[in-house]
Structure 1
Amino acid sequence: MKLHHRVDGPAGAPLLVLGPSLGTTLDIWHPQLSALTQSWRVLRYDLPGHGGSAPATSGLTIDDLARAVLDLVDETEDAEDGEFAVGGISLGGAIATAIAAGRQRAGRRGRVRSLVLCCTSARFGEPGPWLERAALVRASGVTQLAPVLAARWFTAGYDGRWVTDMLERVDAESYAACCTAIASCDLTGRLAAITAPTLIVAGADDPATPLDQALTLAQGIPGALLRVVPGAAHLASVERADTVTSAIVGHLGGHSGHAAGMRTRREVLGDAHVDRAVAATTGFTRDFQHLITRYAWDEIWNRPGLDRRTRSCVTLTALVARGHLDELAMHVRAALRNGLTPDEIGEVLLQTAIYCGVPAANAAFAVAQRVLADVQAEED
């Protein structure tokens, strides 16, 4: 399967691969192109039978489409450094999710360095309606869907005619084949395998991939960040282009360390603790929260020189030495999550009695004993 594509941006820049939604072409990314090509070499592709791509000749699956996109990556010289970013809208987002989950990557170069998912889902509802739409399109063509799709793609009153006009460049059989791929798509069980920093963009008024589907992605992909765009339906990247462009540029650029740090922070401290910290963030504390997420949890905790068990031992010792008992309680729980046993935590604290002082160790044992008892009670 050979997909029509276009590459824009400076030679030598990192590669970013972007996929369109069902019924649209690579031009759907035009609102973001100028901003993204300042730092990225952007590869946009057309789905089979859409825009300039040849029609589909048989049934399709999400993995078939993912392999076709990876063929484009392998043909692009910018992929030689072994890393690329990938994203997509709706069906394009599902393709990007499948690529990031890695099932198709055996024997291929590279890995996904960042993931952007716009108004998409791990599972697009029951297969019946999609198969019915495929039959309808085969019988009556694609353009007759324009009024229905416009109402799903945009909120009332928004003029997105330049997007619905793309339907005129879509082959009916290929559209139906893509509907079949969507009908059989269920990536829910593969989300946990995604390791790339991930941004999820959801339209607050999206009837096609509602917010609960975005939440499934956010909860299933470790460390994923969810951005809900108000006043936008299914094609939020068109209807609220400035907002979505800013979020994507921030994720791919200077804030990528924040995404990686947030993922590690959740893995070490647990979702409940991090959710409380995020909920308590104010305008006054936001910059500080970003600082510790980027520099403590990404720049330090994600360094390869020490494993997390060792980093927990170092952290416990430092907190005892400085008398930071509230932080010590949090990191006793973190040490358990990082694989230390209660006895090993006790050994660390016992050694601090020699090097940090008996009074400091005495206070630390009291804190640790209380935390370990609480953890045991929670497990019982």
Structure 2
Amino acid sequence: MTDTLLDHRAEGPASAPPLLLGPSLGTSTRLWDKVAPELSITHRVIRWDLPGHGGSPADLIAAGATVGDLAALVLSLADSLGVERFAYAGVSLGGAVGLQLAAHHPERVSSLAVICSSSHFNGEKPWRERADLVRREGLAGLAETADSRWFTPGFTVPELVDDHRKADPEAYAACCDALASFDIRGALPGITAPTLLIAGREDPATPPAHLREIADAVPGSSLTELSGASHLAPAERPEAVLAALRTHFDGYPGRGMEVRRQVLGDPHVDRAQSRQSPFTARFQDFISRYAWGEIWTDPTLSRRERSMITLTALVAHGHYDELAMHIRAARRNGLTPDDIAAVLLQTAVYCGVPAANSAFATAQRVLAEEVGEEEA
């Protein structure tokens, strides 16, 4: 019996919030190879292939297909996996499927990211012509020009070009039919899912203006433009796409940055941010997401309790510069000088007297500075 489901790949904990990732025309799940593993840390990531692409059966789609037909296949896949409500991100045709789902099945989409896509793809004619060409001549010719349509000059991902070459021509042409008839502009104002638009500034297929048009129509949406990115941004600028998707789907580093400022104070965070360089950018993102966006936001312990634990850990490892910073943070979190002294006295027993001696000296200096600032 012919398989009636889209081929897919699932990653991440089964209990994590589901996130579906949709591909661009001519590609496969490999489009997400540099992004999906990181997203799967916090989500159950489900990548899917278009009909006739990757491992999906070609006969799931036929001539005259619509984006609505593709959206129905995605919902069937989600149903088969027991996924009722999900976050969704898609590139180009995969992004159009996301818009279709968010507009016509709002109860299923919790959050949406549309990458290098459009609400209308420049009308019917170019896609009807491409469909006719592929039905006559196959995909070899189009695959030869894939790099110029997908990437900035000099960049390529051979595996994706190979996916293009190996796609089923009739299924590819049917996907072109779907793009030809797609125009969802009238439904955009009704989309209620939190929506992020990501545009590649050097994308010739769906230029930033197409994403701005969606952003202007979808209430509360936001737009990010990526320099040095063409049409397949997740393959060409994976770190930038990953950072944008994490912020959108997880609230990081936005939520983490807010907590970081509350605990450490604006002057400290501003200094750290001003010193950030391309070399340290990923580390700063790591801090905001994990230390401040996950650990410090966990309601199991109060911030006061977390400060006490942090002071003890820093004394134990001799990190006295960090200790000074966190003594200031402890004061913001409600610890009095007597509370801090009691914590440091506890460390004398379990971390050693010399460590506690250095910690008391650091604390005395910081607290004296605080008094001086108050008197000034």
Q: Give matches, 1:297-316, under 5 Å.
A: none
Offset, 1:75 = 1.6
Structure 1 CA distance for aligned equivalents of residues 253 and 197 of structure 2:
13
Does structure 1 conserve the Cα–Cα contact (< 8 Å) formed by 2:120 and 2:184? yes
Structure 2 CA distance for aligned equivalents of residues 160 and 111 of structure 1:
33
Q: Give matches, 1:189-200, under 5 Å.
A: 189-200=186-197
The percentage of counterpart residues that share the same residue type is 45
Instruction: Give 2:314's aligned residue.
Output: none
1:112 to 109, 112, 125: 109
2:94 to 92, 97, 101: 92
Offset, 1:148 = 2.1
Structure 2 CA distance for aligned equivalents of residues 208 and 19 of structure 1:
17
Instruction: Give 1:253's aligned residue.
Output: 250
Offset, 1:126 = 2.1
Instruction: Give 2:16's aligned residue.
Output: 13
Equivalent position amino acid for 2:231 in 1: H
1:34 to 34, 37, 53: 37
In structure 1, list runs of 5 or more residues that go unmatched. 259-282, 285-380
Offset, 1:6 = 1.4
Q: Secondary structure at the match of 2:33?
A: helix
Structure 1 CA distance for aligned equivalents of residues 110 and 254 of structure 2:
11
Q: Secondary structure at the match of 1:31?
A: coil
Structure 2 CA distance for aligned equivalents of residues 148 and 220 of structure 1:
33
Structure 1 CA distance for aligned equivalents of residues 142 and 117 of structure 2:
20
Offset, 1:74 = 1.3
Would you say 1:177 and 2:174 are equivalent positions?
A: yes
Structure 1 CA distance for aligned equivalents of residues 208 and 161 of structure 2:
23
Measured against aligned partners, the alpha-carbon deviations of 1:302-322 in whole angstroms (never above 9, x if no partner) come to xxxxxxxxxxxxxxxxxxxxx
Equivalent position amino acid for 1:150 in 2: D
Does structure 2 conserve the Cα–Cα contact (< 8 Å) formed by 1:133 and 1:179? yes
Instruction: Give 1:211's aligned residue.
Output: 208
Equivalent position amino acid for 2:34 in 1: P
Instruction: Give 1:52's aligned residue.
Output: 55
Structure 1 CA distance for aligned equivalents of residues 196 and 253 of structure 2:
9
Q: Give matches, 1:146-295, under 5 Å.
A: 146-255=143-252
Does structure 2 conserve the Cα–Cα contact (< 8 Å) formed by 1:131 and 1:180? yes
In structure 2, list runs of 5 or more residues that go unmatched. 256-272, 275-376
1:130 to 121, 127, 131: 127
Does structure 2 conserve the Cα–Cα contact (< 8 Å) formed by 1:35 and 1:249? no
Structure 1 CA distance for aligned equivalents of residues 36 and 5 of structure 2:
23
Q: Against the structure 1 CA distance between its residues 251 and 104, is the aligned structure 2 distance closer, same or farther, given a 3 Å change threshold?
A: closer
Measured against aligned partners, the alpha-carbon deviations of 1:177-225 in whole angstroms (never above 9, x if no partner) come to 0001000000101111111111111000100001110111111111111
Structure 2 CA distance for aligned equivalents of residues 200 and 37 of structure 1:
21
Equivalent position amino acid for 1:13 in 2: A
Instruction: Give 1:270's aligned residue.
Output: none
Does structure 1 conserve the Cα–Cα contact (< 8 Å) formed by 2:247 and 2:254? no
Does structure 2 conserve the Cα–Cα contact (< 8 Å) formed by 1:197 and 1:256? no
Larger Rg: 2
Does structure 2 conserve the Cα–Cα contact (< 8 Å) formed by 1:66 and 1:104? no
Structure 1 CA distance for aligned equivalents of residues 156 and 252 of structure 2:
32
Q: Against the structure 1 CA distance between its residues 154 and 100, is the aligned structure 2 distance closer, same or farther, given a 3 Å change threshold?
A: same
Q: Against the structure 1 CA distance between its residues 257 and 242, is the aligned structure 2 distance closer, same or farther, given a 3 Å change threshold?
A: closer
Structure 2 CA distance for aligned equivalents of residues 177 and 52 of structure 1:
17
Would you say 1:75 and 2:77 are equivalent positions?
A: no
Q: Secondary structure at the match of 1:166?
A: helix
Does structure 2 conserve the Cα–Cα contact (< 8 Å) formed by 1:93 and 1:118? yes
Does structure 1 conserve the Cα–Cα contact (< 8 Å) formed by 2:192 and 2:219? yes
Offset, 1:257 = 8.4
Offset, 1:256 = 9.7
Q: Against the structure 1 CA distance between its residues 60 and 121, is the aligned structure 2 distance closer, same or farther, given a 3 Å change threshold?
A: same
Equivalent position amino acid for 1:96 in 2: G
Q: Secondary structure at the match of 2:145?
A: helix
Does structure 2 conserve the Cα–Cα contact (< 8 Å) formed by 1:122 and 1:185? yes
Equivalent position amino acid for 2:160 in 1: V
Does structure 1 conserve the Cα–Cα contact (< 8 Å) formed by 2:21 and 2:46? yes
Structure 2 CA distance for aligned equivalents of residues 60 and 248 of structure 1:
30
Does structure 2 conserve the Cα–Cα contact (< 8 Å) formed by 1:61 and 1:184? yes
Instruction: Give 1:351's aligned residue.
Output: none
Does structure 1 conserve the Cα–Cα contact (< 8 Å) formed by 2:17 and 2:44? yes
Measured against aligned partners, the alpha-carbon deviations of 1:130-149 in whole angstroms (never above 9, x if no partner) come to 11111111111112212322
Structure 1 CA distance for aligned equivalents of residues 202 and 54 of structure 2:
28
Structure 1 CA distance for aligned equivalents of residues 40 and 252 of structure 2:
17
Q: CA RMSD in A?
A: 1.8
TM-score under structure 2 normalisation? 0.64
Offset, 1:117 = 0.7
TM-score under structure 1 normalisation? 0.64
Instruction: Give 1:326's aligned residue.
Output: none
Structure 1 CA distance for aligned equivalents of residues 191 and 81 of structure 2:
23
Offset, 1:83 = 2.6
Q: Against the structure 1 CA distance between its residues 191 and 207, is the aligned structure 2 distance closer, same or farther, given a 3 Å change threshold?
A: same
Structure 2 CA distance for aligned equivalents of residues 159 and 244 of structure 1:
17
Offset, 1:2 = 2.4
Structure 2 CA distance for aligned equivalents of residues 150 and 257 of structure 1:
35
